[in-house]
């Protein structure tokens, strides 16, 4: 059976609206999980009020009891991996072991420039992400951890507060780049998130084949990795059913539907209605 999740863009939404949506989804049985995106600014359009993702996630973890939850995906440029590991352990505890730990290389140049954060070129971004995955894994699973890389260094670091989930929460890696992202997915991911709105849904099968070959090269199987496909909320329920169905047919195990403002009390119900026939 496929899994279905919702993702709420935390832009132009009040805490009251956000908490109402998540409580409604948590109380129903349809959705497996809920997600947030990680940006300081909207990725398109004018600058508008945008919540910080991990602070918000911790708050949502405290008011829900069933949903798996996470940030899809955290920009590795925003937080030192040691800090992210500590945050992840805290949110996993708050949620009772429901966290899915999303990581990505980061990409939005405008918001990095505005806040004085170094985005870097592609080589440095993916180099930092590779090191961050090692660091987060090491801190969450080992009593004491040291690391010496090109971008980060840890000296006998001890994260005493360990996550509920053992050995650690699942790693979710987002992206489709065959040279840099997919090799990291093959090595580290428990869950791969595919988002590719510019190509037909059927192309997912080709990317999944590439990932399967990379998994073999690191002595893993594609069956070890959950494959989710992310899509924006279409205009109609019929369009949602069609697109999600095609992604499932192409090899997705899990559909994630992202909703943007304006929100109302029926937003979650509309997503569920479009997915229910599948």
Handedness of CA 17, 22, 27, 30 (dihedral sign): positive
What burial letters (b/e) apply to 150-163, b meaning 16+ CB within 10 Å? Answer: ebeebeebebeebb
The reported pLDDT for the residue numbered 265 is: 86
Q: What is the mean pLDDT of residues 120-149?
A: 96
Q: Is the peptide bond before 167 cis (omega within 30 degrees of 0)?
A: yes
Q: What is the mean pLDDT of residues 69-89?
A: 97
Which residue matches tokens 């959705």? Answer: 31
CA–CA gap between residue 207 and residue 181 (Å, rounded): 11
CA dist list (Å): 163 to 92, 129, 167, 251: 6, 21, 8, 31
User: Quick check: helix, strand or coil at residue 52?
Assistant: coil
Number of Cβ within a 10 Å radius of residue 200: 10
pTM (2 d.p.):
0.95
CA–CA gap between residue 94 and residue 98 (Å, rounded): 9
Contact 275, 257 (CB under 8 A): yes
Mean pLDDT over each residue of the chain, to the nearest integer:
95
| Cβ-Cβ contacts under 8 Å for 84 (sequence gap 6 or more) | 74, 103, 132, 136
Is residue 26 scored above 90 in pLDDT? yes
Is residue 251 scored above 90 in pLDDT? yes
Q: What is the mean pLDDT of residues 260-277?
A: 92
Which one-letter DSSP state was computed for residue 12? S
pLDDT in tens, 30-77: 999 999 999 998 877 888 999 999 999 999 999 999 999 999 999 999
Q: What is the mean pLDDT of residues 236-260?
A: 96
With vertex at residue 31, the alpha carbon angle to CA 164 and CA 208, rounded to the nearest 5 degrees, is 85
The reported pLDDT for the residue numbered 39 is: 93
Choose among 99, 28, 37, 111: nearest CA to 62.
99
Q: What is the mean pLDDT of residues 15-26?
A: 95
Longest distance between any two alpha carbons in the chain, whole Å: 55
What burial letters (b/e) apply to 214-252, b meaning 16+ CB within 10 Å? Answer: bbeeeebebeebbbbbbbebeeebeebbbbbbbbbebbb
The reported pLDDT for the residue numbered 42 is: 85
Is residue 274 scored above 90 in pLDDT? yes
pLDDT in tens, 159-196: 999 999 999 999 999 999 999 999 999 999 999 999 99
Which one-letter DSSP state was computed for residue 274? H
Is residue 243 scored above 90 in pLDDT? yes
């Amino acid at each position: 059976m496929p899994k279905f999740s919702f993702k709420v863009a935390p832009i132009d939404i009040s805490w009251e609206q956000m908490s109402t949506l998540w409580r409604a989804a948590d109380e129903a049985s349809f959705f497996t999980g809920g997600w947030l995106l990680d940006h300081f600014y909207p990725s398109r359009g004018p600058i508008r009020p945008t919540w910080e993702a991990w602070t918000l996630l911790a708050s949502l973890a405290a008011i829900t009891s069933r949903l798996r939850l996470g940030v899809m995906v955290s920009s590795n440029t925003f937080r030192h991996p040691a800090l992210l590991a500590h945050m992840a352990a805290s949110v996993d505890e708050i949620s009772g072991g429901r966290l899915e730990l999303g990581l990505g290389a980061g990409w939005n140049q405008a918001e990095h420039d505005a806040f004085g954060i170094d985005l870097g070129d592609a080589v440095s971004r993916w180099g930092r992400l590779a090191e961050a995955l090692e660091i987060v894994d090491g801190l969450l699973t080992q009593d004491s951890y040291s690391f010496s890389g090109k971008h980060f260094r840890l000296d006998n670091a001890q994260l005493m507060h360990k996550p509920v989930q053992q050995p650690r929460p699942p790693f979710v890696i987002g992206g489709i780049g065959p040279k840099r992202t997919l090799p990291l997915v093959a090595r580290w991911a428990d869950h791969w998130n595919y988002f590719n709105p510019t190509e037909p849904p059927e192309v997912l099968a080709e990317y999944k084949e590439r990932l399967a070959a990379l998994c073999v090269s690191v002595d893993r199987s594609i069956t070890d990795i959950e494959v989710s496909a992310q899509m924006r909320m279409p205009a109609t329920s019929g369009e949602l059913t069609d697109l999600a169905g095609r992604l499932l047919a192409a090899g997705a195990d899990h559909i994630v539907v992202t909703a943007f403002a304006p929100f109302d009390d029926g937003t979650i119900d509309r997503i569920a209605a479009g997915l229910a026939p599948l």
